[in-house]
Amino acid sequence: MTANSDPIAVLGGGSFGTAIANLLAENGQSVRLWMRDPDQAEVIRNQRMNPKYLQGIQIHAAVEPVTQLQETLASCSLIFVALPSSALRQALQPYSAQLTHKMLISTTKGIEAKSFKLMSQILEEIAPQARIGVMSGPNLAREIAEHALTATVVASTDEALCQAVQQVLHGQTLRVYASPDRFGVELGGALKNVYAIMAGMAASLGTGENTKSMLITRALAEMTRFAVKLGANPMTFLGLAGVGDLIVTCTSPKSRNFQVGWALGEGLSLEEAVERLGEVAEGVNTLKVLKQKAEELNVYMPLVSGLHAVLFEGRTLAQVIAALMCAEPKTDVDFISLAGF
Ligand SMILES: NC(=O)C1=CN([C@@H]2O[C@H](COP(=O)(O)OP(=O)(O)OC[C@H]3O[C@@H](n4cnc5c(N)ncnc54)[C@H](O)[C@@H]3O)[C@@H](O)[C@H]2O)C=CC1
Ligand SMILES: O=C(CO)COP(=O)(O)O
């Protein structure tokens, strides 16, 4: 891997930002990892660890923890954004001038509540002159940090941007695939978090393997149906950022959304489950906005409605399961006729 001359910025000192910063550094890049908390930056500088978010992982010497956002943005032309969706707009809006002509890659898997905008759409709004892409896929931060063999997708219609990301991130343990479907790739990453909560709940209640498979497959059908209604290409959902990410988050106890679901299955309230996690679980907010949007667009999403009923409408899981199982029979794959078979 050849080193890029400019340093690369990673915004967000949580688990994903740290994991990506480390990979970039291992590939020979010099990296500025921006975080808002000076104490956290000091700990990383001194201990070469990020104990709060990635306990036990050594931080590469070429990762420089920084807290000055304006300077960081000014000094880097390639910028990975790994902030929670609730923070992204507020954190970057004041710096739109510094983002002009930069390559901005969102790794954030969430949807803005009021606008139903994806993070790359917010970046586009804040920095209309920037070059925008997203990165998404089955990418548990800890596994990336521990060098588990992993694949991800960089998506943008800007081919040179995709190649730039492939050049700096592709390595011994990470394969980076490109896609022109930014919207589909990003939407897949945001939607699957909701179903991971459901899967975590099901797992903690000891459901059978048939049930787990049914949940994941019907989740894929439902999220694809929704995405198509918004104009996305259903084929993207057969890729790493669709079914790939859905599988990892719906089956892994390392997923924070899965962990929230697991805690709910154990009988904790949503507040208790989120509090116990202490990290970002984007699926909770996504569920709220998704339920509302599905109703507005008249898209049939029984799993989303069912989870929303349990989490926010006081229904019991038994009531929701009974209603789901008794619903009128449907077809298996919605898009067979579209594919021309
Ligand atoms: N952790 C993972 O395995 C993966 C996470 N992602 C996505 O990356 C995004 C970030 O998630 P994680 O790094 O996992 O979260 P995390 O919970 O590990 O860390 C969140 C970080 O954001 C910081 N933060 C919160 N509010 C902020 C604000 N207003 N300004 C600046 N910084 C702020 C926190 O201090 C913390 O450093 C999420 O959208 C997540 O879905 C994507 C792929 C994998
Ligand atoms: O997006 C992820 C894996 O691809 C991480 O999922 P969680 O946010 O649920 O941990």
168-201 tens-digit pLDDT: 999 999 999 999 999 999 999 999 999 999 999 9
- For 120, the token pair is 């790359």
Residue 339 is assigned to a structural domain of this protein: no
Q: Tell me: do 172 and 220 sit in the same domain.
A: no
Is residue 288, in this structure, part of any structural domain at all? Answer: yes
Domain end point (choices 126, 156, 180): 180
Q: Looking at the structure, do residues 307 and 173 belong to the same domain, yes or no?
A: no
| Distance, CA of 280 to chain centre | 10
Q: Are residues 31 and 172 in the same domain?
A: yes
pLDDT for residue 333: 86
Residue 329, pLDDT score = 83
Q: Is the CB of 123 under 6 A from ligand 2?
A: no
pLDDT attached to residue 338: 59
Q: Is residue 337 part of a domain?
A: no
Do 198 and 170 lie in one domain? The reply is no
Q: Ligand 2 mean position to 193 CA, how many Å?
A: 7
Same domain? For 25 and 165 the reply is yes
- Based on the domain organization, do 157 and 196 belong to the same domain? no
What are the catalytic residues? Answer: 192
Task: Note the pTM of the prediction, 2 decimals.
Answer: 0.96
* Ligand 1 atom with least separation from CA of 17: 13
Pair (134, 204) in one structural domain: no
pLDDT value of residue 4: 57
Residue 3 belongs to a domain: no
Q: What share of the chain in percent tops pLDDT 90?
A: 92
Ligand 2 pocket, mutate which of 15, 106, 107, 109 (most atoms under 8 A from CB) = 109
ipTM over the 0.90 cut-off: yes
pLDDT higher than 70, residue 235: yes
CATH for 231:
1.10.1040.10
Asked if residue 196 has its Cβ within 6 Å of ligand 2, the reply is yes
The domain tally of the chain equals 2
**pLDDT at position 334, please?**
83
Q: Residue 340 falls within a domain, yes or no?
A: no
DSSP state of 63: E
In angstroms, the Cα distances linking 217 to 125, 222, 247, 287, 314 are 35, 9, 9, 18, 26
Query: How far is CA 248 from each of CA 67, 74, 203, 210, 221, rounded to the nearest angstrom?
Result: 32, 36, 14, 17, 17
Domain end, chosen from 132, 153, 180, is at 180
| Domain-located, residue 87 | yes
HSE of 171, CA atoms in CB hemisphere, 13 A: 20
Predicted pLDDT of residue 1? 45
340 is annotated as contributing to ligand binding: no
Full domain range(s) for residue 276 = 188-326
Task: Please tell me the number of Cα atoms within 13 Å of 185 on its side-chain side.
Answer: 25
Ligand 2: which atom is nearest the Cα of residue 16?
Answer: 5
- Residue 107 Cβ inside 6 Å of ligand 2? The answer reads no
Assigned domain for 147 exists: yes
Check whether 267 is labelled as a binding-site residue: no
- From 134, 255, 279, the mutation candidate for ligand 2 (largest count of ligand atoms within 8 A of CB) is 255
Distance 97 CA to ligand 2 centre (A): 31
Report CA(293)–ligand 1 centroid distance (Å): 24
* pLDDT for residue 2: 45
Atom of ligand 1 nearest to the CA of 280: 17
Instruction: Look at residue 228 and tell me whether its pLDDT is greater than 90.
Output: yes
Contact 200, 264 (CB under 8 A): yes
Considering the domain architecture, whether residues 230 and 175 belong to the same structural domain is answered as no
* pLDDT above 70 as % of the chain: 97
Tell me the average pLDDT across 296-314: 97
Same domain, 235 and 151: no
